Amino acid sequence: VVENEIQASIDQIFSHLERLEILSSKEPPNKRQNAKLRVDQLKYDVQHLQTALRNFQHQRYTREEQERQRDELLSRTFTTNDSDTTIPMDDSLQFNSSLQKIHYGMDDLIGGGHSILEGLRAQRLTLKGTQKKILDIANMLGLSNTVMRLIEKRAFQDKYFMLGGMLLTCVVMFLVVQYLT
């Protein structure tokens, strides 16, 4: 009740201050600055009073809430089978078993990855051996390819010599027949 009366008085003071502010603006110019300064000082003081009232109300509400919670806690009776004091173990056990399953699954994945890696290493060694054999065969065929190219080149040249010789023989025979007959 007292707080409400104080709040009503503060509100009334604010309304009077607003009226004073209007009246101070109607003062002569030489007194207007001083009047506005006094009104602003009064507003500042009233705001401090209102802030102090709010702080007091907040402290009172906090104190009342703490007392209410303390009384509630002291009046509460606890029993051994109270549902608020039980510990939910089923969820914890289920969570633990899920973690163990995940752990074993990860071990299986790591083991599978390790075996795949070993297989890839074995394949790499096999492919290296095969590559070495292919390079040896390629080197041996490289010599054979060189010999084969020389033979083909020689056969190509021999074909032209043969055609040139046949053509020359035909021309000579034609000329012999032409001049001798």
The Cα–Cα gap between 78 and 83 comes to 10
Residue 3 near residue 53, CB atoms below 8 Å: yes
pLDDT digits (tens, 9 = 90+) for 37-90: 888 999 999 999 999 999 999 999 999 999 999 998 888 776 666 555 566 677
- Distances in Å between the Cα of 68 and the Cα atoms of 1, 3, 130, 143 are 21, 21, 88, 105
Question: 50: closest CA among 20, 14, 17?
Answer: 14
pTM of the model: 0.39
pLDDT interval class at 164 (50, 70, 90): very high
What is residue 155's predicted lDDT score, i.e. its pLDDT? 83
68: helix, strand or coil: helix
Kindly tell me if the per-residue pLDDT of 6 is higher than 80: yes
* Residue 101 backbone phi and psi in degrees, to 5: -60, -45
Percent of the chain with pLDDT over 90: 31
Mean pLDDT of the region 91-98: 85
Residue ranges per structural domain of the chain? 1-73+108-180
Question: 134: closest CA among 152, 179, 126, 11?
Answer: 126
Enclosing H/E stretch for 81: none
